[in-house]
Structure 1
Amino acid sequence: MTDTTPPAITDSHCHLDFPDFEGKLPDVIARAAEAGVIRMVTICTRLRNEPTVRAIAEAHAPVFYAAGTHPMSAAEEPLATVEELIALAQHPKMVGIGETGLDYHYTSESAEIQKTSLRVHIAAARETGLPLIIHARDADEDMARILTEEHCDGAYSCVMHCFSSSPALARAALDLGFYLSMSGITAFPKSADLRDIFAAAPLDRILVETDAPYLAPPPHRGKRNEPAFTAHTAARAAETFGIDYPTFAAQTQSNFDRLFTKAAQFEAAA
């Protein structure tokens, strides 16, 4: 009898507290499990929403969470403090700091406060040992410079979430020992150049994600994304690396465990 169980994978970045999923989480998480998505990290983008995001992780065994101030919200929200982020990180299912970063595409006018917020989050990642989760858009030079400067001041771990920036930023991040995460964008037909960036990266530095409810991969493009669709992105990613899907899935699981050590340890202790 053939085993039809799908390979286990992790959606390393989604937003389950967004209105798109209200009242639907049990079904969303069940569909994820059917697709082999055995874990997901839901991301808090405004610290005032942390209790809601935390409650989702507490209520659903496969869900972990991260918390921070999204760069597009940096000018609207109170500036996070290192102490505040360290305190939140005491929760057993909070496994990352962010998302934070720089977005000059939509919010270039708040560049300076974004940089300040980013450095706060980096300091918290350094202090807690939790990985930093970076959003970068149209800010490659400042992003590479700040990440490198801060790393020289003290090492920390990091994932470039939904990476869709330049080869230069990819190389800068990889040179610091960071990880690149593949979203549904990498499965779009016109994303050949982006796939080439990933294909040139070490396989042991790759994660997969949905960024749900955004950026659904084919065949669901244009619809609401959800964690189950990580499987579509990962299947296309396996082709990019020229390996079979089970091998790629197993490698990304190992990568996730290495970066998100707190999540791996939580599961081992459960």
Structure 2
Amino acid sequence: MLIDSHAHLDFYTTSPTDRDEVLSRAWDAGVKTILAIGIGENPSQMHVALDLANSVTSSHQPSIFASAGIHPEQAHNATPEALAELARLAAHPRCIAVGEIGLDYYHIENPDITTQQQAFIQQMKIAAGLSKPIIIHCRTSELATPKAKEKYGPADAAADTCDLIAEHFQSSGLSGIMHCFSGSVDDARRALDLGFYLSFAGNLTYPKAQGIRDAAAFAPADRILVETDAPFLAPIPLRGQRNEPAFVAHTAAALAELRGISPEELAELTTENFHQLFPSTRSSQS
């Protein structure tokens, strides 16, 4: 039994039955719970993931929980109205986290640093007020496009993310997930010191991702999760295809081999970690 801790289920719209077929394949692959990420294309679509979580009831499909958040690429749209809608959605019991939120200095088209940071801080305050964990999006700045590096200068998204969490969220006593963790061992250490979980996606399996594998081997057993980030980042041997929650089994197998345990042990471990972070999800599999 596996849990996909991060999937964008609202992207499966190529046919009227596309999403149902994806969810059935996930169930057949042993994925019994999925956290559907509620960011959409912009804040007006934050509700879609929660709508899915409330409507997927088939006996041959995983349990769906939702998040809601304003992605850093949409930080300029974090209006008072959008933030109020986020707070409304996040208060729902089936909405178990605020996210994905954070910082992204990767593309020149992204909002300026101040706009991103203000939106991030406001959303952390909403999460703290509702006692909900947060799901962090953070692309490491060393991978940014050359023009983005010119725009954002020496600012480091990973360092800024952790600094803002320490300043505006850590005192809440709540935790969260570093989604699609792609940093170094040092980045992992800082995130872990903040009380966060590290979630590993398909890029863990890519040949050039040794730094991610080093961090995955370093992380404590009780702080690791697996995800797809579907429909993005399909793992090897499926790289280049449209990703889907069923494929989390490949990432889990790679992570298990890396840590020297069986896939079954890895599945049990990451499932328990997810339930520790989100206790209300445990009953969905009882």
Q: TM-score, normalised by structure 2?
A: 0.85
Q: Which amino acid aligns with 1:117?
A: A
The separation in 2 between residues aligned to 1:239 and 1:144, in whole angstroms, is 29
Partner of 1:47: 43
The separation in 2 between residues aligned to 1:214 and 1:48, in whole angstroms, is 22
Q: After TM superposition, list the pairs within 5 Å mapping 1:17-32 onto structure 2.
A: 17-18=10-11, 23=16, 24-32=18-26
The answer to whether residue 234 in structure 2 is matched with residue 216 in structure 1 is yes
Contact 2:29 2:246 in 1 (8 A): yes
Q: Which moved more, 1:120-129 or 1:170-179?
A: 120-129
Q: After TM superposition, list the pairs within 5 Å mapping 1:92-241 onto structure 2.
A: 92-106=93-107, 107=109, 109-137=111-139, 138=141, 139-241=157-259
Extract unaligned runs of 5+ from structure 2: 58-62, 142-156
Q: Which moved more, 1:227-236 or 1:163-172?
A: 163-172
- CA offset digits 1:219-269 (Å, max 9, x no partner): 11001000000001000010111111111110000000011223225x27x
Secondary structure (helix, strand or coil) at the match of 2:46 reads: helix
Q: TM-score, normalised by structure 1?
A: 0.90
Partner of 2:151: none
Q: Which amino acid aligns with 2:269?
A: Q
Secondary structure (helix, strand or coil) at the match of 2:247 reads: helix
Q: After TM superposition, list the pairs within 5 Å mapping 1:2-17 onto structure 2.
A: 8-17=1-10
Secondary structure (helix, strand or coil) at the match of 1:185 reads: helix
Residues 80, 116 of structure 1: alpha-carbon distance in 2 compared, 3 angstrom cutoff: farther
Query: Size of the alignment, in residue pairs?
Result: 261
Extract unaligned runs of 5+ from structure 1: 1-7
Contact 1:102 1:115 in 2 (8 A): yes
Q: Which amino acid aligns with 1:125?
A: A
Residues 129, 218 of structure 1: alpha-carbon distance in 2 compared, 3 angstrom cutoff: same
The separation in 1 between residues aligned to 2:47 and 2:241, in whole angstroms, is 28
Residues 89, 115 of structure 1: alpha-carbon distance in 2 compared, 3 angstrom cutoff: same
Secondary structure (helix, strand or coil) at the match of 1:217 reads: coil
Partner of 2:264: 246
- CA offset digits 1:70-112 (Å, max 9, x no partner): 0011124535676543321232311110110000011554211
The separation in 2 between residues aligned to 1:256 and 1:232, in whole angstroms, is 18
Give the superposed CA RMSD.
1.9
CA offset at residue 19 of structure 1?
5.0
